[in-house]
Amino acid sequence: MLKRLLEYSQARYLLVGGVCALVNNAILIGGDAAGLHFTICVLLTFVFVLPLSYWIHARWSFGATTSWVGFGSFMGGSIVSLIVAGGAVGLYRGALGMPMIVAGPLSTVTMTIYNYLMTRWAVSRGSKPDVQPAL
């Protein structure tokens, strides 16, 4: 049943996105606990999660080849995502004063739909559609 579910790009996207979200939240929460400002924490998530996320989503989630054009599109879309993330964390953590253990996951939920649509668009740019995702 799991193998059949993973035949759908949306299920693969959610699995990879879930792992990336966990890493993202670990960086946000860990950085906050270490005394870093939330903007630094958000930038760290961008630097560490972005390249790996693009590669896994392109190859496995959507079965596309990776390319510099696709990565550039993904980075462009991710910059907007960074603005969304910074705004969400700024709202939840900064303006509303929520603890990062709550603000981080809420920000992740805020970005999920945008990130799916942006990733699907970005990996299709400059890729060859004949790559089959590995199961």
Would you give per-residue pLDDT tens digits along the chain (135 residues)?
556 655 667 788 888 888 888 998 899 999 999 999 988 998 898 888 888 889 888 888 888 888 888 888 888 888 887 788 788 889 999 999 999 999 988 888 888 777 777 777 777 765 555 455 555
Q: How far apart are the first and last CA of the chain?
A: 13
